Amino acid sequence: MTGLSGMIKAKAASDGRRGLRRMLRRGKRMDLEPAP
């Protein structure tokens, strides 16, 4: 999915800066691993 990174960023922005850090940890794994 190409919008995966964008979705994570959008969701993080919605959750706030605190959510950004949290999403970054989870998003890093998703970003590193290519989606099927």
Which domain does 23 fall in, by range?
1-36
Cβ contacts of residue 1 below 8 Å, gap of 6+?
A: 35
Summary mean pLDDT of the chain: 67
If you average pLDDT over residues 23-34, what whole number do you get?
64
pLDDT of residue 14: 72
pLDDT of residue 20: 62
More confident: 6 or 32? 6
The model's pLDDT over 9-20, given as tens digits with 9 standing for 90+, comes to 777 677 666 666
Q: Is the dihedral of CA 4, 16, 25, 28 positive or negative?
A: positive
More confident: 5 or 22? 5
pLDDT of residue 19: 60
Number of domains observed in the structure of the chain = 1
From CA 32, how far away is CA 27, in angstroms rounded? 8
